[in-house]
Amino acid sequence: MNKNLLTAVGALALSASLAAPAMADKTKFDFWFGLTGDLAQRVGEVCQHFNDSQADFEVVCTSQGNYDQTLQNTIAAFRAGNQPTVVQVYDVGTATMMLSGAYYPANKLMAENGYTVKWDDYFPGIARYYAASNGDMYSFPFNSSTALLYWNKADFAKIGKTEAPKTWEEAAEDMKLLKDAGSACPMGINISANESWQLLEQFSAIHNEPVATKDNGFGGLDTELVFNKTKFVKYVTDLKSWYDQGLVKIKAKETGKTFVEAFAAGECDMMMTSVGDHGTVAKIAVPGLDWDVAELPVYAGTERKNSLVGGASLWVLAGKSPAEYKGAAAFLNFIAQPEQALFWSTVTGYIPVTKSGFDYMKAQGFYDKPPYTGREVAIASLTASEPTPITRGVRIGNFTQIRAEVSNGLQEIFANNKPVQEAIDGVVERGNALIKRFADTYPGKTLP
């Protein structure tokens, strides 16, 4: 249907009259986000701060459920011409967004509205993830995180260790000792689609191993998965053997406890999860739990590279009025202020995305007081090296489905249905078909 034909002639718009006539001098614009629960409250507070800070604009912030639902709803709204001005899109959605033709590039928006953004102030690991191949940022990083190793200091003390393992070889030793010392769960993991992030993507980045050809998909839609030929295979083989020896336990909601809950209960001695869970563990840990975070282990002899950023960024959508764009630019400028970074990191587990925000938080003593001590490890992990073409991130189409394939493969392995190599080969084969399907959907289009 041609949308142009639908301009109002017999306009009966039932809804228009229902919108309360607001203060005429404020320009309203919509911001849809994909967080719920406590985090939705926090986003609401950020919006409130913005609205209180100036007199020209009012942002209307609406939670659209989780990330998937937000993206889906935004697409439906965009197709019907009712899209919000700003929308939060998760990391995996970046490839889709860049091909959508539905966005207004963030750098262009800021320049046109008179804001000078110091783009090199963003941590390179974060900036490159959301940038086009020429380095231009099309969206603003918002809630960002990376994966860390959480470890139980008290239990490690029992085996005479005061530091978290730095290598997987060391970790394997530690887990054996922990088990001998009576630990029921030296390390808790899960193998659902969510954990592809830690187990495959973060692992590959810090080891500088490719997930896919063409620089993990940044170089073109005709990329192919290659993680059946990298250190990932050894990693899975080891995890499986540790699982068989009772060193690694599967902890998921299906077993009763997620690994975060099991760690917070003092049951598991290690887990790998996002720094975003730092606040959660602090809130729900059994009283007196002595724990800390460290960078993820690497295999011995590996030159550690930067880990990947996770989370979501804010996209400005096409087809809105100049006044709304002005408001959106003011909003994006507002949340990039160091004070907002401090507020946001204080009330959530997310990390600052700019050097100036990080410096400001350090200067304010944020990282010195519990329960926030240790979170600076996330910055260290993200900036462990200058991003290589492989550690920029993973930009692959249909990646949501591919993550599910990874989890299916891991489940086949852990349930003893298939040997490691055969299962991972299967994942890669099915994943490549998904990538091909994605490329076929966008004939003639290329990633910017």
Partner 1 sequence: MVRGPRSVPGAATASAPVARPRPQTNDKRVYFENRWIGIAFVVPQVLLIFTFFYWPAAQAVYWAFTLEQPWGGGNTWVGFNNFAAILRDPVYWNSIVHSFVFAVASTGSAMGIALLFALLVDRQLLGYRVFRAVLAWPYAIAAPALGLAFRFILAPEAGFFAVFNRIWPGVWDPTLDGNDAMIAIIITFAWKYLGYNFIFFLSALQGVPRALLESAAIDGAGFFKRARYIQIPLLTPTIFFLLVINITESFQDSFGIVDIMTSGGPARATELMVYKIYFDGFRGLDYSGAAAQSIILMLLVIGLTIVQFRYIERRVHYT
Partner 2 sequence: MIERTPLLNLVTQLLLFLGLIVAILPFAIVLIAATHDIREVNTVPMSLVPGHELFANFAEAWRRADLGVKLTNSFIFAAGVAFGKIFIAALSAYSIVYFRYPGRMLIFWLIFITLMLPLEVRIVPTYAVAANAFQPYQGLLDLLGINWVVEHFTGQRIMLKLSLLNSYAGLILPLIATATGTFLYRQFFLTVPDELAEAAKMDGAGPLRFFWSILLPLSRTNMAALGTILFVWTWNQYLWPLLVTTDPSHGTAVVELKELIPSNYGIPDWNVAMAGTFIVMLPPLIVVILTQRWFVRGLIATEK
**Which 30-69 positions form the footprint of partner 1 (CB under 8 A)?**
68-69
Does position 254 bind partner 1 by CB under 8 A? yes
Does position 440 bind partner 1 by CB under 8 A? yes
Q: Which of 39, 131, 270, 332 binds partner 2 (CB under 8 A)?
A: 39
Nearer to partner 1 by C-beta: 337 or 400? 400
Q: Which of 85, 94, 139, 145 binds partner 2 (CB under 8 A)?
A: 145
d(CA 167, CA 207): 11
Does position 194 bind partner 2 by CB under 8 A? yes
d(CA 20, CA 347): 32
Q: Which of 128, 179, 207, 257 binds partner 1 (CB under 8 A)?
A: 257
Dig out the tokens for 235 from the structure: 């990693």
Nearer to partner 2 by C-beta: 80 or 433? 80
Does position 437 bind partner 1 by CB under 8 A? yes
Does position 6 bind partner 2 by CB under 8 A? yes
d(CA 14, CA 225): 50
Residue ranges of the alpha helices (H) in 194-257? 196, 203-206, 213-216, 231-244
The item of partner 1, partner 2, none sharing an interface with residue 68, based on CB under 5 to 8 Å by kind, is partner 1
Any long-range contacts for 440-448 (C-beta under 8 Å, 24+ apart)? 441/397, 442/99, 442/221, 442/397, 445/99, 445/221, 446/220, 446/221, 447/95, 447/98, 447/99, 447/132, 447/133, 447/217, 447/218, 447/220, 447/221, 447/395, 448/98, 448/132, 448/133, 448/134, 448/136, 448/138
d(CA 93, CA 67): 9
Query: What is the contact mask toward partner 1 in residues 92 to 131, using x (rule: CB under 8 A)?
Result: ----x--xxxx-----------------------------
- Segment contacting partner 2 by CB under 8 A, of 26-34, 203-211, 355-363, 431-439: 26-34
The item of partner 1, partner 2, none sharing an interface with residue 107, based on CB under 5 to 8 Å by kind, is none
The item of partner 1, partner 2, none sharing an interface with residue 5, based on CB under 5 to 8 Å by kind, is partner 2
Q: Write down the residue that tokens 């949340």 correspond to.
A: 335
Does position 276 bind partner 2 by CB under 8 A? yes
In 201-357, the DSSP E strands lie at 248-250, 268-274, 291-294, 310-317
Residue pair 230/237 in contact by the 8 Å Cβ criterion:
no
Enumerate binding residues for partner 2 (CB under 8 A).
Answer: 1, 5-16, 18-20, 30, 32, 34-41, 62-66, 69, 72-73, 75-77, 79-82, 84, 145, 194, 256-257, 261-262, 264-265, 274, 276-277, 279-280, 283-284, 286, 348-350
